[in-house]
Amino acid sequence: MITGQLERAFQLAEKHKLDVSTILELNKIIMKEVNSSPKTEEKILQQILQILENNKQILREAT
């Protein structure tokens, strides 16, 4: 399971141009705070990553 989580973190980090450690930390926070099914946790992670992408785009446009 941990190997799968790490592989997923690498994929997401590459896709969203973030550090792997950032993805892993987000996962830990979500697991601790949400305490839900892995599917729900994955959806929450995707939503957070989308918010980060949107914020990056807004910052690019503002400068």
Which residue in this structure is represented by tokens 């941990």?
2
Q: What is the pLDDT of residues 2-49, one digit of tens each?
A: 688 889 999 999 998 899 999 999 999 999 999 899 999 999 999 999
Any idea what the Cα angle at residue 32 is, between residues 30 and 38, rounded to 5°? 55
Q: What is the pLDDT of residues 1-15, one digit of tens each?
A: 568 888 999 999 999
In the numeric block, which tokens belong to residue 20? 């792997």
- Which residues have CB under 8 Å from 22's CB, separation 6+? 13
Which residue in this structure is represented by tokens 């590459």?
14
Q: Is the dihedral of CA 1, 25, 17, 52 positive or negative?
A: positive
pLDDT, residue 63, reads 86
